[in-house]
Structure 1
Amino acid sequence: MKQCNRTEAPRIVAVGKWKPAELLKEAYDAGHRDFGENYVQEVAEKAPQMPKDVNWHFIGHLQSNKVKSLLEDVPNLACLETVDSEKLANKLSTQVESLGRDPLSVYVQVNTSGEETKFGVEPDKALDLARHIHEECKGLRFAGLMTIGMPDYTSKPENFECLTRCREEVCGALGLNTSDIELSMGMSGDYESAVKMGSTNIRVGSTIFGARDYENKR
């Protein structure tokens, strides 16, 4: 997975949640290569329909019992953005090694808004999980930090500031360069603010593919 550096524009991950592969192919034909999905079954169905040079990002909550199927069904999975526990990190690392894959890039998901309904570690626990991945998980590469917006798919500036502070703390403690550690923050409703505040990876779906019909997916 190509990393952004501070002189490049942020990576745009086109999120195809509930959208047909045909729409994703249109984006691919226009030159896009980074795509994201929220559900294991959905990315497993779409990956074989798309060219093999697609960089898939998994951006949904991943249960440990779905790790094997995700890695086996999506051999070109470039990044898993939602690692939120040592248990999940360990399962991923073990499975990656057993498949003989190169280390998988992962982000630590941080709950910067303090909402009980959100997945992710508390900000003061981000370093512990990042350290565990960096030092103990041979099948993984600690590549960044990720946060999800508010219920209306926007974020307050302090949410982004919190993630930036987490990166500074993690990099200082682990001896990493901040330019090498990504910040995945910003979605369709708040990506402009996220970019201004230093996001290197934004996850945009409805702005690219059109609004989703949430009513019929409940």
Structure 2
Amino acid sequence: MAATVVEGVPATALRSVLHRVRQAAEQSGRHAEDVRVVAVGKTKPVSLIQEIYDAGHRCFGENYVQEIIDKAPQLPDDIRWHFIGHLQSNKVKSLLAAIPNLATVEGVDNTKASI
């Protein structure tokens, strides 16, 4: 988490989720640091993603190529973006070209898209 934390409903919700994840990790014998929480911005406005970012979170996901391409340039560069939908081969180049801070693609439609 960042040193300066912005308070509000999104920040409170984030803190609650992270607390529950920490508890679940400890109960299962895992380290909370080994669990990555991806905040999914699906259909949410950039302003809400910015609020979660301001609360210290840096890992975000989108499941539509056009949404991530539209939102990412409006947000800080240190966000680790996850594409969590199925990536079609005809959209691979546009996604990779538009999002230099893309950390992960969770699914591809076929092996052609993964090469």
TM-score, normalised with respect to structure 1: 0.38
Could you tell me the percent identity over the aligned residues? 66
Superposed, 1:135-154 pairs within 5 Å as: none
Corresponding residue number in structure 1 for 2:78: 53
Matching residue's letter, 1:17: K
Corresponding residue number in structure 2 for 1:209: none
Q: Are residues 1:86 and 2:111 paired?
A: yes
Q: Return the offset for 1:10.
A: 1.3
| Separation in 1, partners of 2:106, 2:76 | 21
Q: Are residues 1:64 and 2:89 paired?
A: yes
Superposed, 1:88-127 pairs within 5 Å as: 88-90=113-115
- Structure number with higher helix proportion: 2
Give the paired residue count: 85
Q: Secondary structure, in 3 states, of the residue corresponding to 2:93?
A: helix
Higher alpha-carbon Rg:
1
Matching residue's letter, 2:47: E
Corresponding residue number in structure 2 for 1:73: 98
Q: Return the offset for 1:88.
A: 1.5
4+ aligned runs moved over 2 Å, structure 1? 6-9
Corresponding residue number in structure 2 for 1:205: none
Gaps of 5+ in 2: 1-29
Q: Secondary structure, in 3 states, of the residue corresponding to 1:46?
A: helix
